[in-house]
Chain A
Amino acid sequence: MSAVPISYYLVLSAILFGLGVVAFVFKRNIITMFMSIELMLNAVNLAFVAFARAHNSLDGLVFVFFVIVVAAAESAVGLAIVIMLAQNRQSLNVERINLLKL
């Protein structure tokens, strides 16, 4: 049914990962930086599924399942930290969160 070459999916995954890195570097808002991490995770998931298809094996899909579960847990804890930071600092700008900086 699917006549799309695997390399197309891999290139799309690379593009999305690159855009995620760019977003992570450019953004100064801690919430949007979190979102760019999610974007990178999604790009890697796409590569996992594409490779699983290419090798006709299901292990890649199991891995994607675990990645999604761990990402959900990570975002729950991360957003709790964001709420705490916003309450303590009155700002979402990561440049203001510099207590550990020398």
Chain B
Amino acid sequence: MNIAILMFFVCALLAVAGAVVLILAQEPIHSALALVLVMMALAVLYLLLGAPFIAAVQVIVYAGAVMVLFVFVIMLLNAGVEERTDFSKIAKFAGVPLGFLLLLEIAHWLAHSPIGTAIANGVGSSNEAADTANLSEMLFRQYLFPFEATSILILIAILGALVLARKEPS
């Protein structure tokens, strides 16, 4: 058993378990912590795929900033146990099996498609440090305009959040 495959299965299992806990948890804070687990597992998978920069961004921005924001809002609003939806009979007896069927079909198609099998052995051959350098080169040359546009987007998001969350002066 290859160590990379073992690592992949451990992280994949953690990610899927986290996603299932996110669905089943009654309290929003438990869902948030499960989502952090999913994101950390995905960061390890990015490392495994040879994308250390994306893994770092995933941990810092997603598992760090975004989830802290979520936890902060959950605490601020004192979100307690949520109400369950009444699962209709059609959903239980038709929706769930059909969903699994669709998933199996997608998995089968992906596993036997040319992209899934043919390129499988050409992975991870390149130099990671050079990759990160090339990535920054692309970000600041080829994708310079979208990169600058995201800074404007973030500025607008900050202003929007401020305006929305402000108390109305009545």
Contact = CB atoms under 8 A, between A and B. Distances in A.
A31 to B, nearest CB: 5
Interface in A13-33: 14-16, 18-20, 22-23, 26-29, 31-32
B160 A62 contact: no
Contact of B107 (A5, A11, A27): A11
25 contacts: A2-B49, A3-B5, A4-B2, A4-B5, A15-B16, A16-B38, A18-B103, A19-B20, A19-B22, A22-B99, A28-B85, A31-B77, A32-B31, A35-B28, A39-B19, A46-B46, A53-B49, A58-B138, A61-B53, A65-B53, A65-B57, A73-B156, A79-B73, A80-B162, A82-B73
Interface of B: 2, 4-5, 8, 12, 15-16, 19-20, 22-23, 28, 31-32, 35, 38-39, 42, 45-46, 48-51, 53-54, 57-58, 61-62, 65-66, 69-70, 73-74, 76-77, 79, 82-85, 87, 99, 102-103, 106-107, 110-111, 113, 115-117, 119-124, 126, 131, 134-135, 138-139, 143, 146, 150, 153-154, 156-158, 160-162, 164-165
Contact of B23 (A2, A23, A34): A23
Interface in A32-83: 32, 34-36, 38-39, 42, 45-46, 49-56, 58-59, 61-62, 64-66, 68-77, 79-83
Contact of A6 (B31, B120, B150): B120
Contacts of B54: 45, 49, 61, 64-65
A72, A83, A84 pick with most chain B CB within 10 angstroms: A72
Interface residues of A, number: 68
Contacts of B134: 58
Contacts of B121: 3
A80 B161 contact: yes
Contacts of A7: 110-111, 113, 115-117, 120
A70 B153 contact: yes
Contacts of A29: 28, 79, 82-83
B16 A19 contact: yes
A3 B111 CA distance: 15
Contact of B49 (A36, A49, A65, A77): A49
